[in-house]
Chain A
Amino acid sequence: MRVTALAAAAAMALTACAASEREGGGGEATGSDEGGRDTFIFAASADPASLDPAFANDGESFRVARQIFEGLVGTQPGTADPAPLLAEDWEVSEDGLTYTFDLKEDVTFHDGTPFDGEAVCANFERWNNFTGIQQSESLSYYWQKVNGGFASSDVPELDGTGKYDSCEAPDASTAVITMKSPLPEFISALSLPAFSMQSPTAMEEYGADDVTGAADAPILPEYATAHPTGTGPYVFESWTSGQEVVLVGNPDYWGEQGQIQRIVFPVISDATARRQALQAGDIDGYDLVGPADVVALEEEGFQIVNREPFNILYLGMNQANPELADLKVRQAIAHAINKEALVAQTLPEGTEVATNFVPPSVAGWSDQVATYEYDPEKAKALLAEAGKSNLTIDFNYPTNVSRPYMPTPEQVFQSISADLQEVGITINPVPEPWSPEYLDRMQGTPDHGLHLLGWTGDYNDTYNFIGVFFGAPANEWGFNDPELFEMIGDARYQTSVEDQTAAYEAANEAILERLPGVPLAHPVPSLAFSPKVHEYPASPVQDEVFNVITLDD
């Protein structure tokens, strides 16, 4: 009893002296009921890794960064094609080494710093001069990946190996970037949030480059946790780790400000909890909707928005395996698979059957490739021709994993192996945990047969798909075909868009002729929203800025 009284007295005393900070600061309407109209609540599956997008490579960081920041290059709405953003226009020199950007004028960063040529150069120079811990793959992943190195590094393979050379700002509205050697995917890559323009003043003030901690455990500086400063339609307000990120409208935005004045990203890591939060009306929308939830949500009156797929799921056929070295056997397998049934049974609604190893929205996708239609009889005949009517083959697939391009690997395996058994192939299933066993076996050893794998693209670049797969000899595929490697490499360095597209189309046709694997599908990623949300700008590369969204009351 005494204890209770004491606690009550203490609480009263504290209450008396702790003035509400809210009373002074605006006295905005609070409470979930009144949060409607201009507040948009979108559940995140995790915290952002970093609010400084130059030190991030994950979807949740980029989702937040897209609202706060803008890059020189954006994308055409709904596509992956590059479009002007902070650069209104650009020119590439004949040799592919000099890029001249015409910058948008009268744009300022959230802290009032003007956006100009100097600011552009400050950003490029910053990325190229990352040192020590900043060069960690978990931080400056994309600069490392796209540029290929840094101005200097302790790691020999990154030391001065980058393609970027220098940046100049002849006047306030121009930036000229010079390369040491051509980087054909440069413009497309600039649409990544990792290459957003950030305020040089704010970066200086809040020590954006002061990554501390030991090499094994970098600690991000204040800038990356509390002061991200860009030119975008939303200004950072707060981040409570594990709980939420809050952004508010930028009153000085150069473009359309739109209806949404406040964005809250509550962190809900469990997929079921995200769905239920939407059903309970606690959030307005969420990403990565499970295929099983799509139909249920639609029936309950929620909106499902599909992004155009920017991925590929394929069946690999390792030619280091003697049985699969025979083209006829590979063709037989391709003809034996019923892709339509596979898509209908195991992948989300709206998924397209794949014919190329790139999605249709990527340049170089060809409608002239060999397609290997479903034909079990032809498959049997091809196997007989090859003298492999009693074929037994290993089929590797990962367990306990869900990738954006492959929500349920076990089901995909079941469907395909049933098709193959139908034409007389005996399957020896080899299930393995995704990481590290499965990935190590695919990429590190020649010891596998058929296997399931895929890829989600980063930006509109054909090389980002087929170059990664077939640009060089790889354990995954087990073949060495210099002619094909050269075709893909040549296509990459074409300077005119028309020539490059034609060259990639030819490369895709050559790949399907050789049939190192069977492209299966481009599974569609889905978002879910409450009925009051309109005009969500779904983008294949997730370039989705919330200022265009409208909300009903």
Chain B
Amino acid sequence: MARLVLQRLALLIPTLFGLSILLFLWVRALPGGPATALLGERATPEAVERLNRLYGFDQPLHEQYVRWLGQLLQGNFGVSSRTRLPVLEEFLNRFPATIELTILALVIAVGVGIPLGYVAARYRGRFLDHGTVVASLIGVTIPVFFLAFLLKYLFAVQLGWFPSAGRQSPAMIATHPTGFYVLDGLLTREWDAAWDALLHLVLPALALGSIPLAIIARITRASVIEVQSADYVRTAKAKGLKAPRLRRRVVLRNAMLPVATTIGLQVGLLLSGAVLTETVFAFNGIGSFLADAVFDLDYAVLQGFILFIAVVYALANLAVDISYGIIDPRMRARR
């Protein structure tokens, strides 16, 4: 197991190196530049040139890249041209928000998706099954931002059940020792602040969790159906294993392996979905900050954040691989 982890971590290095080159070129291929973005319509050519010189954009591309890479290796990810704060600091400030949102979205997706898929499989061909299949099809096809708008319009603007934007009500006075607002509220026993933060999470998490939920439900359904008709299930049944115990110990456990893989893959989907969801709900996480950085051509933030997200994604997948060993003892035996 330790060897697997080390191997995978070693593989991360060339991957990130390749990504850094792609990122660097992509960001510079974006139209415009910070100079024109900063100076607006009456910028004199001299002012633009001065700013370009300042940002080093007048130097050849490969020299800019080497300089950037050198800074990266020293842990210097640059400074946001928009907020003028170090990119790493901006990332760490916002990451708890996105983790909080992603975890709740994942909890919804898993907590609703697996039972839904399981129930659909048990009542296969009946009304409940058809309903689940259609609902999950809609869940997969509906664009995240559209669902986000819809949820917000209905439950925040029209009904007023949930707040429409942000992580905490502006009038709420709360302390934030960790940056995870719900946890902060619990730690400091500011129950109203924790509740308020949780309310702010519900709609974005529902929107963000919709696609993973649908995918997980479908995979669970297919997997359970397959396992139900497997030989070992028939054998277990023949040996007189009672139905509830059979379902729990044999069917569900065996059906979970493909589902675990799917959940691991959803992490990438959740992180990319966060860009849209966070923007719609003005949720101050890495996703909305990244979206703003695209509009403002904030090169340092684009480069830094996407690299960080790649690392998070790779680590999440590694965690899934490790979890196989826990679900399926055979994996532990294999090299």
Contacts and interface: CB of A to CB of B under 8 A. Distances in A.
Interface of A: 11, 14-15, 18-22, 28, 30-32, 34-35, 39, 41, 46-47, 49-50, 136-138, 155, 157, 213-220, 225, 240-244, 264, 266-270, 272-273, 276-277, 279-283, 403, 433, 435-437, 439, 443-444, 453-455, 468
21 contacts: A11-B186, A20-B190, A21-B188, A22-B188, A35-B169, A35-B172, A137-B51, A138-B81, A213-B79, A215-B54, A243-B167, A266-B282, A269-B292, A276-B156, A279-B164, A280-B165, A282-B164, A403-B41, A436-B32, A439-B36, A443-B43
Interface residues of B, number: 68
Interface in B138-155: 149, 152-153
B166 interface: yes
B190 A269 contact: no
B45 A444 contact: yes
Contacts of B170: 32, 35, 39, 41, 244, 264, 266, 282-283
A49 B175 contact: no
B282 A267 contact: yes
Interface in B266-311: 279-282, 284, 288-289, 291-292, 300
A219 B84 contact: yes
B171 A276 contact: no
A130 to B, nearest CB: 15
B173 to A, nearest CB: 5
Given A137-B51, A276-B156, 15 more contacts: A11-B186, A19-B188, A20-B175, A20-B189, A137-B47, A157-B46, A217-B300, A220-B84, A268-B166, A272-B149, A282-B163, A433-B31, A435-B36, A436-B32, A439-B43
Contacts of B292: 46, 269
Given A15-B189, A30-B193, A137-B47, A266 B82 contact: no
Contact of B173 (A22, A243, A267, A439): A22
Contacts of B190: 20, 22, 30
Contacts of B43: 439, 443
A343 B186 CA distance: 55
Contact of B83 (A136, A241, A433, A439): A241
B177 A242 contact: no
Nearest to B193: A30
Contacts of B5: none
Contacts of A244: 166, 170
Nearest to A453: B41
Contacts of B289: 242
Contacts of A155: 50
B1 interface: no
Interface stretch (B86-94, B116-124, B224-232, B249-257): B86-94
Contacts of B152: 276
A-B CB proximity, top 10 nearest? A35-B171, A217-B79, A32-B169, A264-B170, A280-B164, A268-B282, A242-B284, A20-B188, A435-B32, A18-B187
A15 B156 CA distance: 31
Given A11-B186, A439-B41, A216 B84 contact: no
Given A276-B164, A455-B41, A270 B171 contact: no
A243 B54 contact: no
B52 to A, nearest CB: 10
Nearest to B286: A242
B58 to A, nearest CB: 11
A267 B83 CA distance: 13
A238 to B, nearest CB: 10
Contact of B280 (A14, A35, A267, A270): A270
A31 B171 contact: yes
A273 B171 contact: no
Nearest to B280: A273
A22 B175 contact: yes
A31 B196 contact: yes
Contacts of B94: 242
Nearest to B161: A280
Contacts of A270: 279-280, 282
A39 B171 CA distance: 7
A19 B152 CA distance: 35
A287 B37 CA distance: 21
B130 to A, nearest CB: 34
Contacts of B111: none
Contacts of B188: 18-22
Given A22-B174, A219-B79, A50 B84 contact: yes
B113 to A, nearest CB: 19
Nearest to A12: B186
A32 B163 CA distance: 10
B157 interface: yes
Contacts of B258: none
B17 interface: no
B144 to A, nearest CB: 15
Nearest to B173: A30
B39 interface: yes
A240 B174 CA distance: 12
B115 interface: no
B55 interface: yes
B264 interface: no
Contact of B165 (A218, A276, A435, A455): A276
Nearest to B282: A268
Q: Which of A157, A243, A443 has the most CB of B within 10 A?
A: A243
A266 B169 CA distance: 9
B31 A32 contact: no
A450 to B, nearest CB: 17
Contacts of B280: 270, 273
A219 B168 CA distance: 28
A276 B151 CA distance: 12
B31 A435 contact: yes
B84 A31 contact: no
Interface string B45-72: 1110011001110000000000000000
Contacts of A138: 38, 51, 81
Contact of B157 (A279, A444, A454): A279
A18 B55 contact: no
B25 interface: no
A257 to B, nearest CB: 20
Interface in B186-200: 186-190, 192-193, 196
Q: Which of B36, B78, B166 has the most CB of A within 10 A?
A: B166
Contacts of A277: 164-166, 282
Contacts of A30: 171-174, 190, 192-193
Contacts of B39: 137
A35 B172 CA distance: 8
A433 B36 CA distance: 12
Interface string B76-110: 00110111111000100110000000000000000
